Amino acid sequence: MTTSLSKNHRDVQPTGSLVDAVRPHLDEIRARARATDDAREPLQENIDLVRSLGIIRALVPRRYGGLEHDVFDWLQTLRVLSQADMSVGWFAGLASSHGFALTKFSERLQDEVWGELGPDAIITTASAVAEGGIAQRVDGGFQLSGRWRFASGLPAADWAIALVKVPDAATGQEQLHWAFVPRADFTVDDTWHVAGMRGSGSHDLVVADAFVPEHRLSEQPGVLFEPVNGVHHENPLYALPFAVIYPIAFAPVVLGGAEAVLELHTEQLKKRKAALTGVSLVESPLAQVRLAEATMRLRAVAAIQEDRWRQVAHRVSTATESNPEELMWWRVTDAYVGRETMRIVEHIVDGAGASIYFEANPLQRFWRDMHSASGHTWLNTESAMQILGRHLLDLPPDPRLV
């Protein structure tokens, strides 16, 4: 798959709401959903669309041709995309959130990535613990080999960020750092044979003895490190901690997916008849109650999630810093939304009948995608609730919990 950027991609400068720009294209995304599922990677048509609408460059600094877009509108865009196809929303969210992530690395690296490819360069992340993945110090940088799982959108990526182990120069103790690797230095191992989120293309990233210059490595160690490189850009967006924006794109996907399931179920319920009696199910009190309960539960979850997004957007608009307790609540909110949307979908599917499992019925794809997406480590409710529980009991944070 080619990922080269044309001049037209470089010249795109969308204005106004990204949500409004996306809505006219939802039907075509839905029409390609089965092909996306079968391809097990982002379709080129969807990549081109996401680029042309300005989503990839949404959080890229204007200095490099980006939009520095409103965070709330960006997140709502991912939510709406996911109502059409969760894999497309997942790809768009991660590809665009990396526009923020790159600002936390060296200015030289930002010049290298965006200066060469423009603001629509696609970056992916391979954060799962690697097989190998130790960056050995050499003159001018590091020599790296390894294999990483779950690199979403990898076939479309121009660059990949890998979580690597770097031996401390003084102690020899291994510390986790992020390393940027260009497309020429990695290969894609076709391993993404899965039940759900198939179109995300989260294949294995393989690096074989690649040289990583010093400037392509994070200056500070840690999975959610707190570097200082964001001061290169004046927008208060880039002063937000790495942990605020880097993982924020997951919850909009499951929220949008659950909303799609509810909408599909509602429309299908109006047409369904009981298999044995032929009675229209739209008149069933049980079906009415189940639908109403799912609707109210989903409205409540959406309100909690939107409040979290507004808080982040407020921090940007007022140029004020977040505090540790606020960051903790944001992290727990995402995980809670991931679990509750999955439970709501299961509540709907329990009463939707056997016909939803036909491949021609899009509801089964959303059901599969919801299960896979909610399994992401950021949506791990047990870990998040343990973080919250310790906080409520005035216990110190456990560094093993992320």
pLDDT in the model for residue 7: 37
pLDDT at 9: 42
Question: Whole-structure pTM over 0.85, yes or no?
Answer: yes
What's the pLDDT score for residue 228? Answer: 53
Does 205 lie in the same domain as 295? Answer: no
CATH number for the domain spanning 198: value is 2.40.110.10
Residue 252 shares a structural domain with residue 388: yes
Buried b / exposed e over 201-226, threshold 16 CB at 10 Å, is bbbbbbbeebebeebbbbeeebeebe
Whether residues 14 and 55 share a domain: the answer is: yes
Quick: pLDDT tens for 205-247: 999 999 999 999 988 887 776 655 444 688 999 989 888 898 9
The answer to whether residues 25 and 154 belong to one domain is: no
Range of the domain at 218: 123-223
- φ and ψ at residue 252, rounded to 5 degrees: -60, -30
Number of Cα atoms under 13 Å in the Cβ half of residue 157: 33
Give dist(CA 125, CA 205) in Å, integer: 9
CATH of the domain at 262: 1.20.140.10
Q: Report whether 160 contacts 216 (CB < 8 A).
A: no
What per-residue confidence (pLDDT) applies to 13? Answer: 52
pLDDT score of 168:
81
Q: Is 148 helix (H, G, I), strand (E, B) or coil?
A: strand
As for how many domains the chain has, the answer is 3
pLDDT of residue 37: 97
Q: Which pLDDT tens digit goes with each residue over 90-117?
A: 999 999 999 999 999 999 999 999 999 9
167 and 208 in one domain? yes
110 vs 29: CA distance, rounded Å: 31
Q: What confidence score (pLDDT) does residue 10 get?
A: 46
Residues 99 and 54 in one domain: yes
pLDDT beneath 50, residues of the chain: 1-11, 229-231
> Can you list the pairs that 274-283 forms with residues at least 24 positions away whose Cβ atoms lie under 8 Å?
275/353
